[in-house]
Structures are given as structure tokens and as C-alpha cells.
Structure 1
Amino acid sequence: MPDDTAPWTDAHLVAIDVEGSGPQDPAGEALLEIALVPIHRGTPDVDNAFSTLIDPQRTITRGPWTSPGITNTVLRDAPVLDEVAPAIIDLVADATLVGHNVRVDWRLLHTVLPEASPIGLVDTLRLAKHRHPELRTGHGLQAWLDRLSLSDDITHAAPGSQPHRALWDTVGTAALLRTFMHDATPAEATLGGLMAVAGLNLDGTPFSPPSDQHSLWDNL
């Protein structure tokens, strides 16, 4: 089990983003793209990122939710899920997955690859709302990256990707986590503290810290 009292930067964190065919897909939502980026000492480790399109082995009907550049033509040249499943399973094993509205990413990954076994989830959407409760809207990933003037840095760090594609969004999520955690004091910035305000169990329910665990920024 991870040490909840250790700095969050010591935790085994992996940022995730997936793109799918949409829950409206009558054949069942297919996983079309995935990116996994290890977060090393609070910083996205892009050099060791894993990112791939996935051939669903059937024709996908495009909708307004379909990510830019993902077409049936490019998907036909991608590996099938069975080819990349071992790498995905290895990367998420015993990790805490970090995503923006991570329930959506984990739901699809768990559906198509139930062997994947992370130990928990951190939702940067929940973290954003916790840090800025005065904002009733505008908590989308790109909105926050634009607001924090991070978008150009993400584009530079994720060459060949773009907003709403898996690699760009995953690197952006990791950068957003790092930025939000920058203001936390060393005593506050533990894995337990992060989980207390932004953590989810694998069933999607909010993480419940031990009664003696103080949440991040409790006294702010």
C-alpha cells in the first residue's frame, strides 16, 4: 500500500486520457486512442509516455464527440487492443491514475480491459473545483490550461498531438495537477491530502480519508 503521509510527488502516479467511439455507439463504446504518461516527481515524463490509436476492427460512425483526426482510415492502420493490452496493463498496475473527469476514462478502460489494475484515481476536475469554488463553470481541461497560459507548453511537450487527443490531454492533465499542487506546503502536499480532495475509489465514489487525515488546504 502507498504511504499516504509521503509527499504526493513520491507517489506512483500515471496520467491517463482515452478517446472512444462514444457511449451512444450501438455496438458498445470502443476504445480508439489511449495515452498514459508517468508523473515523475510531479512532472509529466513525456519521454516514457505510451500513446497509441487502437483499431476497433469495425467501422465507427463519427459524431460531435469524436476527437479530431480520428477516422476509420487512420484506425485501420493502428494496432488492435490485444496487441497493446500488455503494455497498458503493465503501465497502470499498482498506479494511481490521474485524469480530468477521470471517471470517464477509467470506465471505458475498465470495460474493455478489466485486467487493468490501478489502485485508485485522482480527478483534476475535482481538484480544480476545490481550489476555485467561486467558478461555477469553465472547469474543462482546455479552459484551465488556457487560463493558466499552459496550452503552448503542452503543444510543445506533445509534438504531433493537439487538444482533445489523448497525448495532448494527458500531458495537459499532468501539468494541471503540478500547477494546482504548487501552492501546497510540504506538510499539506501528501498523497493522503491529495486523495482527500481529489481522490476517487475505482467504483467512482469519492475517496474517504481516515478521520485523522487532514485534507489539503483545510485551513484556507
Structure 2
Amino acid sequence: MHDQPWNTAPLVAFDLEGSGSQDHEHEAILEVGVVPLVDGRPNMQSAYDSMVNPGRRIHRRPWSSPGLTNDVLGLAPPLDAIEPELAGRLNGTTIVGHNVNVDWRLLSLRCPDIHPAFLVDTLKLARLIHGGAQRRSLTALLAYYELSDEVTKLTGGQSHRALWDAVGAGLLLGMLIHELPHGDALTVAGLHNVAGVPLGDAEQTLPLF
């Protein structure tokens, strides 16, 4: 399988919104977005997203995701109610995300029964293409590649929400691979080589806005 085209891998774009790293070990998942990639593009018919009731009030921060208020979150299902759905969609797949370590750190902490096969980071790939010292947010990269309107059209949402960011990462992956030399011939093994992140490397990394 590793010598097959990259877009034949079981790729799933993923994003979550959390209460913030300032909560340390008490950080809560507030929203998740999961979008399978078919032939390297988001398959919206099979997308899944849900807010998550954290079971407590969340203090608003300047970087808090828009719309995730305590009133709205209080009506959402708790994490243990949606964890089986997440496991069914993520186990054995390659999770694609932007700065994916941030989301994987929190997801693996709160849902230890979720076991993807691999992680692919669009931020790592963007740094390879645009310069290793340059930090680029998802919204900035989507604007650079003129993908923002397409993400909004596909999701009906806005940036810094889980489904929007997941779809954005999925679209961005294909665009970045197109920028690679011989990107049209990239294999699954090649994708892991240029953008892969070890599952055990869930470091505490600040999110990019």
C-alpha cells in the first residue's frame, strides 16, 4: 500500500476546538469535525461534526471559537456519547490536520481508545514548501491559495470552527502536494515522509491563529 498514490490512503481531515491550553490537564474538547478525503478531496456527504458539552462553564478568551457559548454547549452531547462515533471514523485512518499535534494531544488524552494509523500535518508540509522558519496559520494559507470561500461554501460555517478548519486542512493538503516537485507522483510512503508526525509526538504546541 505504501507505494500506492497518496490519495488512496484512508485519509480523514480532523479538527477540534478546545477550551484552551491555559486549562492544562483540565482542557476540554468543545467541538469536533471529521471529514473523509476521497481522491484527496473532502467528502462532505460523509462529514461529521458535533459540539461537545464539557460539563462545566467555559471562560471566554480572546481566542475562543466563535459561537461556542456556554448556553449552546450546554445543549450538546457529552464527549462519552460521541466517542464511539469518533472511534469508528478515526481508528485505523491517517488523520490530516493543521498543526495536528495540538489536536491529537488533546484527543488522545480525552479519548484513549481512538487509535489512528498515522498523522499528517499540513503545517509541516507548508513549512517545507514555504520555508522552514516561517509559521503559517491555516487561515493565512487558505487565503494565500484562494481556498477560503470554497471552504465556507462547503461547510456553511466560519474559520476557527471544527468543521471549517477540518475541511480547510483537507483542501490545503491537496494544494500543498501540488506544489511539491513531482507531487503528482507522490506515494503514501512519500506523504508520510514529507508530512508525517509520529503518534507519540503529541507535544504541547500553541495553536496558530
* TM-score where L is the length of structure 2: 0.92
Aligned equivalents of 2:27 and 2:147: distance in 1?
A: 31
Identity of aligned residues (%): 44
Q: Which residue does 1:154 correspond to in 2?
A: 151
2:186 pairs, out of 166, 185, 189, with: 189
Q: Which residue does 1:170 correspond to in 2?
A: 166
| Amino acid across the alignment from 2:189 | G
Count of residues in correspondence between the two structures:
201
| Unmatched segments (≥5 aa) in structure 2 | 203-209
| Amino acid across the alignment from 2:155 | A
Which runs of at least 4 in structure 1 moved beyond 4 Å after TM superposition?
Answer: none
1:44 pairs, out of 20, 42, 45, with: 42
| Amino acid across the alignment from 1:124 | T
Q: Which residue does 2:86 correspond to in 1?
A: 88
SS of residue paired to 2:37: strand
Shift of 1:180: 1.2
SS of residue paired to 2:120: strand
The residue correspondences of 1:58-97 to structure 2 (distance < 5 A) are 58-97=56-95
Assess if the C-alpha contact under 8 Å between 1:138 and 1:144 holds in 2: no
Answering whether residue 131 of structure 2 is matched by residue 129 of structure 1, we say no
Shift of 1:121: 0.3
Assess if the C-alpha contact under 8 Å between 2:155 and 2:164 holds in 1: yes
Per-residue CA deviations over 1:61-91 (Å, capped at 9, x if unaligned) read 1112311111100001111111111100000
SS of residue paired to 1:129: helix
Shift of 1:25: 1.7
Shift of 1:27: 6.6
Q: Which residue does 1:144 correspond to in 2?
A: 141
Name the Cα RMSD after superposition: 1.6
Q: Which of the pair has more CA radius of gyration?
A: 1
Assess if the C-alpha contact under 8 Å between 1:97 and 1:121 holds in 2: yes
With over 3 angstroms needed to count, the CA separation of the structure-2 counterparts of 1:26 and 1:194, relative to structure 1, is: closer
Q: Which residue does 2:111 correspond to in 1?
A: 113
SS of residue paired to 1:182: helix
| Unmatched segments (≥5 aa) in structure 1 | 206-220
| Amino acid across the alignment from 1:146 | A
Aligned equivalents of 2:24 and 2:192: distance in 1?
A: 35
| Greater length-normalized contact order (CA 8 Å, ≥ 6 residues apart) | 2
Aligned equivalents of 2:120 and 2:91: distance in 1?
A: 15
The structure with the largest helix share of the pair is 2
Aligned equivalents of 1:81 and 1:112: distance in 2?
A: 8
Shift of 1:181: 1.6
Deviates more, 1:38-47 or 1:179-188: 179-188
